[in-house]
């Protein structure tokens, strides 16, 4: 076995199938998309090379593009500074030795099991201004003045979608953080207890430092998810009203497959890929180099 693992030719032979699949179904499509981004093409007629015109249009003429960028930033900030702390708090809660903690853990994780489409359709009904549960509860609580068309108002549409995505994925991060907490030896907490470090002090000086690698993974995953959000927005608002919830992925889909503007849609796809790669790389470098002091 050791001889086989040391044989570089044999290792390369086993890597060839996976590498071939990666090149054919991942790398090649990316190159083709980059090529299409320099073309004007409706998917039927011959392509016309237009150079950087699609990128010029993206950054200078398309106002909804910058709205989509801002919405992506909003998803990113909520995912890192609201969703992740909530997940950490829930992970601490279900990691405590208390009666029914397994039941609570399953309840918190249950939304993650549901598909994004199902969750989005469910919340569309909850937000419905006429028959939705949210407005009904507000009326019952004598807060009828707060009732409104949550997904139909530019002031509340983005916030409403952010609440849904946070509710949907908070359990996912919770489970990752819970697994990390379970991997911390009880000896650290017992030793800290002798020095008077209990409660929040134990969390600050033991749990957070030892969980830094897991937190870094969760941050990167949340950022990537925020930048490529599509399904929930598409189902709930389709980018409306007035592009107030438009995301880059949704705009790419609309331009390429609804407006038959494959060249501009490909340019948006290239921007999204580069955006995800660069931000993920920067985050990984920063979080790896600079350890957070607690």
Confidence (pLDDT) at 75: 94
Statement: residue 102 has pLDDT above 50: yes
Statement: residue 205 has pLDDT above 50: yes
Please state the rounded mean pLDDT for residues 190-207: 79
Confidence (pLDDT) at 293: 45
Measured distance CA(51)–CA(54) in Å, rounded? 8
- 36: Cβ–Cβ under 8 A, 6 or more apart, which residues? 47, 262, 263, 266
Record the tokens describing residue 110, joined without a space: 């249950």
Superfamily of 63-289 according to CATH? MetI-like (1.10.3720.10)
- Segment 239-255, tens digit of pLDDT: 999 999 999 999 999 99
pTM: 0.87
Statement: residue 126 has pLDDT above 90: yes
Helix (H) or strand (E) holding 279: helix 262-289
- Segment 167-196, tens digit of pLDDT: 999 999 999 999 999 888 888 888 877 777
Confidence (pLDDT) at 248: 93
Record the tokens describing residue 275, joined without a space: 């955006």
Please state the rounded mean pLDDT for residues 50-64: 93
The proportion of the chain whose per-residue pLDDT surpasses 70, expressed as a percent, equals 95
Record the tokens describing residue 78, joined without a space: 């909520």
For the chain, domain boundaries: 63-289
Please state the rounded mean pLDDT for residues 253-265: 93
Measured distance CA(273)–CA(266) in Å, rounded? 11
- Segment 264-292, tens digit of pLDDT: 999 999 999 899 888 888 887 787 765 54
Please state the rounded mean pLDDT for residues 189-217: 82
Long-range contacts of 43-51 (CB under 8 A, 24+ apart): 43/260, 43/262, 44/260, 47/263, 50/263
Helix (H, G, I), strand (E, B) or coil at 244: coil
Confidence (pLDDT) at 6: 58
Confidence (pLDDT) at 136: 93
Lowest model confidence (mean pLDDT) among 7-21, 169-183, 200-214:
7-21
Statement: residue 3 has pLDDT above 70: no
Please state the rounded mean pLDDT for residues 12-35: 86
- Segment 111-125, tens digit of pLDDT: 888 999 999 999 999
């Amino acid at each position: 076995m050791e001889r086989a693992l040391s044989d570089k030719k044999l290792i390369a032979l086993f890597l060839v199938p996976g590498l071939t699949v990666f090149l054919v179904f991942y790398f090649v499509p990316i190159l083709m998309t980059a090529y299409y981004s320099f073309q004007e093409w409706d998917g039927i007629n011959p392509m016309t090379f237009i150079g950087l015109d699609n990128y010029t249009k993206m950054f200078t003429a398309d106002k909804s593009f910058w709205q989509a960028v801002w919405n992506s930033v909003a998803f990113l900030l909520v995912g890192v500074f609201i969703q992740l702390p909530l997940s950490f708090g829930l992970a601490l809660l279900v990691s405590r030795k208390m009666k029914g903690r397994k039941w609570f853990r399953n309840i918190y994780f249950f939304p993650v099991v549901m598909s994004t489409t199902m969750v989005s359709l469910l919340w569309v009904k909850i937000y419905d201004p006429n028959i939705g549960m949210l407005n009904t509860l507000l009326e019952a609580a004598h807060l009828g003045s707060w009732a409104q068309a949550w997904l139909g108002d530019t002031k509340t549409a983005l916030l409403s979608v952010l609440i849904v995505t946070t509710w949907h994925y908070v359990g996912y991060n919770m489970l990752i953080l819970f697994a990390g907490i379970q991997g911390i030896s009880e000896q650290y907490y017992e030793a800290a207890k002798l020095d008077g470090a209990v409660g929040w002090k134990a969390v600050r000086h033991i749990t957070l430092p030892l969980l830094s690698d897991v937190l870094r993974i969760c941050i990167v995953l949340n950022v990537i998810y925020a930048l490529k959000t599509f399904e929930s927005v598409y189902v709930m608002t389709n980018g409306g009203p007035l592009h107030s919830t438009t995301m880059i992925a949704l705009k790419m889909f609309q331009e390429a497959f609804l407006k038959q503007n494959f060249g501009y849609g490909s340019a948006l796809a290239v921007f999204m890929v580069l955006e995800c790669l660069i931000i993920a790389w920067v985050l990984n470098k920063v979080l790896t180099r600079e350890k957070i002091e607690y």
